[in-house]
Structure 1
Amino acid sequence: MAVVESVLARVPEPLRAILVKHRELLKFAVVGGTTFVVDNGIWYLLKLTILAAKPTTAKAIAIMIAVIVSYVLNREWSFRTRGGRERAHEAALFFLVSGVAIVINLIPLYMSRYVFNLEVPHVSRFVQEVADFATGSIIGMLLAMAFRFWGFRRWVFPDELGRKRRDHPADETTTADAPR
């Protein structure tokens, strides 16, 4: 029994039906939580050490690493029943959508630091760090996550391609051998 099914078996029935209905969103959220930890761990490591003077650059690097982790987890778990394109085409679309999401994610942090001047010496170090976390890791991440979920479902892992793969398993043997 898969991890998701074993967890769902312990959830009360009314909630279980909702979770099953939105299973894909739930998996996407678990991947998002995982990449949130990767993103913030790398961001704080960089911004508190070698990129202390460049927090937006540190955040961009951290997001790019988290995006690579996100691609693997989303492709192999969250959206595994969707898609069906060649792997290179799918990856290119994934990274294009993610690139736009990186820009969306960085806008609130950039505005906090360079438009509202929420940085030392204009504010205390504590206020700066709270503002960085709120704008870079909460507001920016939520905006980017909403965009990515929509973009992944719409362009990267469209259900039409996944439906063809599920409805015609005989074709799967011929396409499974082809490089993705």
Structure 2
Amino acid sequence: MAPAWPSRPRSGGGARREVLGFAAAGLAAYAADLALFVWLRGPLGVGPIAAKTLSFLAGCTVAYLGNALGTYRRRAVSLREYGVFFAVNAAGAAVQLLCLAVSHHGLGLTSASADTVSGLGVGMVLATCLRFWGTRTLVFRTPSPQEEAHTPWTG
């Protein structure tokens, strides 16, 4: 029986395009998240938690659309994928928060620069690796022949 792992491009060019496409979608999502957060907090005066929640949802949507319409456009897309994509991104956010909490509360590194390094440096790198793995493995995976027979449409 064949393993349940999705097949991946064998050539270096395919993998490079995948990483670059994922990075481009991520940068667009980050820009949308940041811009919306700043706009909500500044001119609109929305509280920080509500503003971050809304900007996070917008960023997830931009990243999903960038990956669904760009990076992984040749794979089947459905509403299920958006739910899994959101869960993968929420797990990435949890990794960033965990890195910040361990550094700030566990190790006692409480300066603003230490928080930046742990949350936006180390946390972002680990979260991005998790998001890349989750996006290609769980969200836009290549279906098995059995799954493909039951897929209503393909990209």
Taking structure 1 as the reference length, the TM-score comes to 0.58
* 2:74 counterpart residue number: 81
Question: One-letter code of the match for 1:153?
Answer: R
Greater RCO (CA < 8 Å, at least 6 residues apart)? 2
Q: Identity of aligned pairs, percent?
A: 26
The Cα of 1:77 is off from its aligned counterpart by 0.8
Larger Rg: 1
- Over 3 Å counting, the alpha-carbon distance change for 1:160 and 1:100 in structure 2 is same
Q: Which runs of 5+ in 2 are unaligned?
A: 1-10
- Over 3 Å counting, the alpha-carbon distance change for 1:72 and 1:37 in structure 2 is same
The Cα of 1:91 is off from its aligned counterpart by 1.4
Counterpart pick for 2:125 among 142, 145, 152: 142
* 1:35 counterpart residue number: 29
Counterpart pick for 2:59 among 60, 66, 85: 66
Secondary structure of the 2:65 match is helix
Deviations 1:41-83 (A, max 9, x none): 455677898657x7xx87666434321211111111111112x
Q: Which runs of 5+ in 1 are unaligned?
A: 1-16, 119-126
1:175 lines up with 2:134 in the alignment: no
For residues 123-134 of structure 1, the aligned pairs below 5 Å read 127-128=111-112, 130-134=113-117
Deviations 1:102-144 (A, max 9, x none): 21122122334443251xxxxxxxx41x333322222222111
Distance 2:122 2:13 in 1: 25
